[in-house]
Amino acid sequence: MNKRIGVLALQGAFAEHMAALNKIGADCFEIRQKSDLTLQTPDGIILPGGESTVIGKLLQELDMLGDLKKLIEKGLPVFGTCAGMILLAGKLSNDDHKYLGTMDITVKRNAYGRQLGSFQTMGLFKGIGDLGMTFIRAPYIETLSEDKGVEALAVVNDRIVAARQGNMLVTSFHPELSEDLRVHEYFIQMLT
């Protein structure tokens, strides 16, 4: 049976994630309103990069934040990239906001500076190997709770840029901007 991935499509790089999912043959649909979480029950959700403050505000205005949090807490697999990582973080070190707060990580927003601080590099991703990584106004994980099952999956320049805790996967970088689809395939494997 083919798994259905819901991609949060309020703002940010949702179209790029959908294109990546289509390339690997995954069935996906846009989540734009509360009813999209129930009418087409997803087997997994992607929270894309974008502006975390805007996405968080829209989730609240559309009354989706609580429902999304409950689904994740019940075990629905979720993959957050860049802003998605910020939404899932239990704590932000340089911001008082807290959105979903389901993952036991502390994240620093805009850790690499403004848009001009964006860069590409190669890094080792546990279980995948060497991977091209694109960072755009990216956060990184300052601390994670290994005692609560959080595992660092990638470290670049002594900064944790990918992690997993049970059903939650996060990356600081944007795998949807690469032709290398192995991170999306990794997420699909989490659905089985």
Given the structure tokens 């999304």, which residue do they identify?
Answer: 68
Concerning whether 185 is annotated as a catalytic residue, the answer is no
Strand partners, 27: 4
Q: Rounded to the nearest 10 degrees, what angle do helices 65-73 and 52-61 cross at?
A: 100
Query: Cβ(39)–Cβ(70) under 8 Å?
Result: no
Would residue 174 show up in a list of annotated catalytic residues for this protein?
A: yes
Question: What is the b/e burial string over 42-71, where b = at least 16 CB atoms within 10 angstroms of the residue's CB?
Answer: bbbbbbbbbebeebbbbbeeeebbeebbeb
User: Residues 16, 17, 176, 184: which is the catalytic one?
Assistant: 176
| Residue 16 is among the residues annotated as catalytic for this protein | no
Given 16, 28, 82, 184, the catalytic residue: 82
Tell me which residues are annotated as active site: 82, 174, 176
